Amino acid sequence: MPAEAKADTNSARPDSGPAAPHPPRLTPPSGALTASPPLTERQEARRRRILHASAQLASRGGFDAVQMREVAESSQVALGTLYRYFPSKVHLLVATMQDQLEHMHGTLRKKPPSGDTAADRVAETLMRAFRALQREPHLADAMVRALTFADRSVSPEVDQVSRMTTVIILDAMGLDDPTPAQLSAVRVIEHTWHSALITWLSGRASIAQVKIDIETVCRLIDLTDPGEGR
């Protein structure tokens, strides 16, 4: 992340607000475990309004435009209530990224990738996700900055983003029970995709370069296929 992005962490900290009790744990992607009960219908509706307001503000002005007081006003919740759901702007924007990925996952399931090989399908899937973020560059920048700024207190939310990305990639591969080697390849692909987002957002990579990097790293899938070489 460029130096000017790091400077934004200082401007974000006054917005982190007072320490507040954590809200009920959000329902994670399928297969993840949680000790907290799911949100009630009313709580879920409130959370949806908050995430929508966050995405709208970020789409218009990026990371700096997402101010907790404005999010509370836009979502029609009290500021204290907002902090109980999301203790800081970074928590909120990482949760916003998870929400965006869940929406992408639903879209991808309605229209699955059509590549002949698992590597082709994953590359197609990630480029479709990338182009969706490309249409909202301010929102993409805000979410990626939040992931970059996230400390250990945001680990559960960051883990949910990672799990959702893994689910998207495994769906494209057509795998329900991946081997350790395949999961390792998926992690490397996730790292490359995230890095490609950062380099594109900072103006250091073109869309064509991103596509080449994604297609190249997806070839790892062929190397971890148990059926190869038989």
pLDDT for the residue 124: 96
Checking if the pLDDT of 9 tops 90, the result is no
Q: Over the chain, what HEC string results?
A: CCHHHHHHHHHHHHHHCCCCCCCCCCCCCCCCCCCCCCCCHHHHHHHHHHHHHHHHHHHHHCHHHCCHHHHHHHHCCCHHHHHHHCCCHHHHHHHHHHHHHHHHHHHHHHCCCCCCCHHHHHHHHHHHHHHHHHCCHHHHHHHHHHHHHCCHHHHHHHHHHHHHHHHHHHHHHCCCCCCHHHHHHHHHHHHHHHHHHHHHHCCCCCHHHHHHHHHHHHCHHHHCCCCCCC
For residue 5, pLDDT beyond 60: no
Q: Against a cut of 0.85, is the pTM above it? A: no
User: Could you report the per-residue pLDDT of 169-181, keeping only the tens digit for each?
Assistant: 999 999 989 999 9
Q: What is the end-to-end Cα distance of the chain in Å, rounded?
A: 43
Mean pLDDT of 162-191: 95
Q: What does the pLDDT read at residue 39?
A: 84
Question: What are the CB-based long-range contacts (under 8 Å, 24+) for 74-79?
Answer: 75/46, 75/49, 75/50, 76/49, 77/46, 77/49, 77/50, 79/17
Residue range 36-54, pLDDT digits in tens:
578 899 999 999 999 999 9
Cα–Cα distance measured from residue 146 to residue 116, given in angstroms and rounded to the nearest whole number: 36
Question: Average pLDDT, stretch 100-107?
Answer: 93
